[in-house]
Amino acid sequence: MNLPQEKQCLINPEFYQFINNEVLPKTSLNNDNFWADLNNLINDFSHSNTVLLNTRQQMQNKINQWHLEHPQSSDFSPQASQAAYREFLQSIGYLTPMVDDFTIETENVDPEISTMAGPQLVVPVSNARFALNAANARWGSLYDAFYGTDIIDNSGELSNTKAFNPQRGQAVIDNAKDFLDEQFPLNSGSHHDVTSYLVYYQHLLAFFADGSECGLKDPCQFVAFDGSKNSPTYLLLKNNGLHVGLHIDRTGKIGATDNAGIDDIQMESALTTIMDFEDSVSTVDSNDKVEAYRNWLGLMRGDLEVTFTKDNQAVQRKLNYDRNFTAKSGGAYRVPGRSVLLVRNVGHLMGTDLIQDIDGNNAPEGIIDGVVTALIGSLDLQKSEHDCFRNSRSGSIYIVKPKLHGPEEVRFTCDLFSRIELMLNLPKDTLKLGIMDEERRTTVNLKQCIYEAKSRVVFINTGFLDRTGDEIHTSMLAGAFYPKSGIKNEPWINAYENNNVEIGLRCGFSGKAQIGKGMWAMPDEMKQMMKDKIAHPKSGANTAWVPSPTAATLHALHYHRVNVFEQQNTILTRTPASLDSILTMPIMPADMTLTAEQIETELNNNVQGILGYVVRWIEMGIGCSKVPDINDIGLMEDRATLRISSQHISNWLMHNVCTQQQVNQVMERMAKVVDKQNEGVTGYQNMSPNTEKSLAFQAAKALILEGHKQPNGYTEPLLHEYRLLAKQQF
């Protein structure tokens, strides 16, 4: 179609060259056609994108108005007002009519997503070093995960000293062998006492010091090996669909001292990984975006590489190969060496200068992300089944779409995906959709959202961090929210989590798609994670997010202990989560007051997190950071946690729980604390004492003071604005 001149887009030259020189030549697409098609696509979809954003704001305005007209009072009757509130939400189209029962029809889904249960790692795609590490996190060393974390107490004779501590090493081995005894028990005796393993016909045999021997209680758990049967170098076991490998090497650092010569125990860990273009990155212009797209290209082609220095040694990192073993029956046994990769696009909110219209207006970034990540993803589909670096063995490209508000936004996304498939000559429904259930309008209409995507949906996931931010923003005018820790104890969150699993199962997700749980946001607190995160597989979710490869290896232990698919059978017998519980706002009763100390502590904590995160985002372009809280516990901070903290303070200011002067004082004080925490960090610029000159400080202040005005409480608009200013300065 020939477009009138005024509809032609302006393409950023760096982006144009990247696509023309590095991507399109690998496809059968013609360059000119590609750009003309993209131009048409943007013209056809941009208006709807704008309409959807306007609808969000109009609904929010009406909700705000409703709260002004129904102020919280001490004689507040939750039941009566709940019914009226529901009716109101229906009347404005926030609550949509329920669809009839149905089951999803998604096809060609990789087993890691459909039939297996295990951890999902998330990683900022802009960091090639981390991204490669994440792709390779399909396998992780249990010994390293135990040794390097607080799973083993870091005190006294067990201390994690710089030089290898043999006592700590022994505790690691003891813990790991306890796991073997628990999940791969022997017919008699314990793995602790085994002196050698060998393969006898199709059986694993364990020998003891007294010459006795035995097999596994469940012989089927032994699946493959490497080396000779009499002296295997690797034994591959399987439980609940996940592999565990015993690496045997009597000359190895650990193997030399181990009874059975086990040098390491390796866990199949991150079955899937999300390469994130969204909340964990800081990509504000064409230059940043092209760099991130180039990493995705390297991952899809299989040739991404980085070299860096670690512990004074040069390290070269590439994608791992698949692993080949001998099946116990004698044939070849190949296991994937890498996580199955999904890619998280940005949501519908932001524009990008990758492409602009004739008036210099940025095109919707979500649309361009959809096209480019799918285009690059399509290179994977050209690979033969023997290719070393194939991602999807089922011919799918997996795109996670964040921050969707309700069914009409899901429909828009699916329409966009259909059009991209036409443009790229991909079979219908090649582009699979992961729906983040992280906005309230999606939660309360989840079944309708899934219905819109029923031929391509591959996951629903409770992004509880954004969801908390949206909870605050949506009901900003309703009253003052509990302190952050209290919000988590209110009924809405369990109802939201349970509803997600129940709806997913009722829509037939079991065995077809992922039901996912959210992030563990305390990357160094692994002992606590092991206690808490077993709740995720128990809840019937077949995946849950982890922040690092080490966390993936440890969280994998949970999926050995809990058979998620058995668990799912029990879920549908319980009373379903109620909409009223989901809609119960975690607001403090009107007559509840907090002590001055409680308010101060909350502000200190929130402000420290905001400043600690924002300063690295604005001035160093780092989109995800580990920032200590006031108790010195490192927290994963990304845009979603920033959304919560900034919205929370905004809410307290609005309801006079604190004053602006108080917030200013806390900010000034915390700027000093954050500066101190970053002492010696290359490229770091202090915010204090000249905070009025610090773009990071000013950005943080704007996020708080203008928080109530930000669209749905999102942080992107202000972060981008200040980051662009900072980039101009350097």
Ligand X SMILES: CC(=O)SCCNC(=O)CCNC(=O)[C@H](O)C(C)(C)COP(=O)(O)OP(=O)(O)OC[C@H]1O[C@@H](n2cnc3c(N)ncnc32)[C@H](O)[C@@H]1OP(=O)(O)O
Residues that bind Mg ion (CB under 5 A): 438, 463, 466, 640
DSSP for 424-441, written as a single string: TTPPTT-EEEEEE--SHH
Q: Do the annotations mark residue 129 as ligand-binding?
A: yes
Tell me the C-alpha distance between 498 and 504, whole Å: 10
Which region, judged by CB under 6 A, interacts with ligand X, from 98-106, 275-283, 295-303, 596-604?
275-283
Contacts of 181 (CB under 8 A, 6+ apart): 190, 191, 192
> 284 among the known binding-site residues?
no
Shortest distance, position 586 Cβ to ligand X, whole Å:
19
Residue 368: contacted member of Mg ion, ligand LL5AMS7Z, ligand X, none (CB under 5 to 8 Å, by partner type):
none
Sign of the dihedral through C-alpha 29, 35, 36, 37: positive
Give the whole-angstrom CA distance, residue 574 versus residue 526.
31
Shortest Cβ 268–ligand X spacing (Å): 16
Task: Return the residue matching tokens 């013609």.
Answer: 30
Least spacing, CB of residue 710 vs ligand X, in Å: 17
Position among 523, 537, 609, 707 found at the interface with ligand X (CB under 6 A)? 523
Q: Would you tell me how many other CB atoms lie within 10 Å of the CB of residue 160?
A: 15
122 labelled ligand-binding: yes
Is 547 labelled a binding residue? yes
Question: Which of Mg ion, ligand LL5AMS7Z, ligand X, none sits in contact with 464, Cβ below 5 to 8 A by type?
Answer: ligand LL5AMS7Z
Decide: is 488 part of the binding site for ligand X (CB under 6 A).
no
Strands 340-344 and 272-276: parallel
Q: Check whether 466 is labelled as a binding-site residue.
A: yes
Residues 6+ apart with CB under 8 A from 403: 347, 348, 349, 436, 438, 439, 466, 712, 714
Q: Report if residue 310 touches ligand X, rule: CB under 6 A.
A: yes
- Shortest CB 622 distance to Mg ion, Å: 18
Considering the rule CB under 6 A, would residue 304 count as an interface residue with ligand X? Answer: no
Q: Does 437 bind ligand X (CB under 6 A)?
A: no
C-alpha to C-alpha distance for 638 and 642, rounded to whole angstroms: 6
Per-residue DSSP letter, 466: H
130 is in an annotated binding site: yes
Q: Which CB sits closer to Mg ion, 353 or 438?
A: 438
Q: Are 568 and 536 spatial neighbours (Cβ–Cβ below 8 Å)?
A: no
**Host H or E run for residue 571:** helix 564-571
- Say which of 344, 616, 639, 643 is annotated catalytic: 344
Candidates 336, 377, 549, 586: give the one binding ligand X (CB under 6 A). Answer: 549
Structure tokens at 460: 């629903």
* Nearest-angstrom CA–CA distance, 512 and 207: 41
* Candidate ranges 188-196, 255-263, 545-553, 564-572; the one touching ligand X (CB under 6 A): 545-553
| Cβ proximity to Mg ion, 456 vs 639, nearer residue | 639
Residue 357 annotated among the catalytic residues of the structure: no
Catalytic status, residue 344: yes
Q: Give the C-alpha separation, 163 to 298, whole Å.
A: 36
Q: Which is nearer to ligand X, 124 or 298 (CB)?
A: 124
3 state DSSP class of 665: helix
Asked whether 102 and 544 are in contact (CB, 8 A), the reply is: no
**For residues 121 and 423, which CB has a smaller minimum distance to ligand X in the complex?**
121
CA 16 – CA 29 distance, rounded (Å): 15
Binding site for ligand LL5AMS7Z (CB under 6 A): 279, 436, 438, 463-466, 518-519, 640
| Max CA separation in the chain (angstroms) | 87
Q: In the stretch 123-162, what mask flags binding to ligand X with x, by CB under 6 A? A: xx----xx--xx----------------------------
| Number of residues lying near ligand X (CB under 6 A) | 25
The DSSP call for residue 6 is: G
Q: Is the dihedral of CA 625, 629, 634, 639 positive or negative?
A: negative
- Of the ranges 91-99, 440-448, 495-503, 623-631, which one interacts with ligand X (CB under 6 A)? 623-631
465 annotated as belonging to a binding site for a ligand:
yes
**Catalytic residue annotation:** 344, 638
What residues are designated binding site for glyoxylate? 344, 438, 463-466
Q: Which residues bind to ligand X, rule: CB under 6 A? A: 121-124, 129-130, 133-134, 276, 279-280, 310, 463, 465, 519, 523, 547-549, 624-626, 636, 638, 640
Which residues define the annotated binding site? 122, 129-130, 280, 317, 344, 438, 463-466, 547
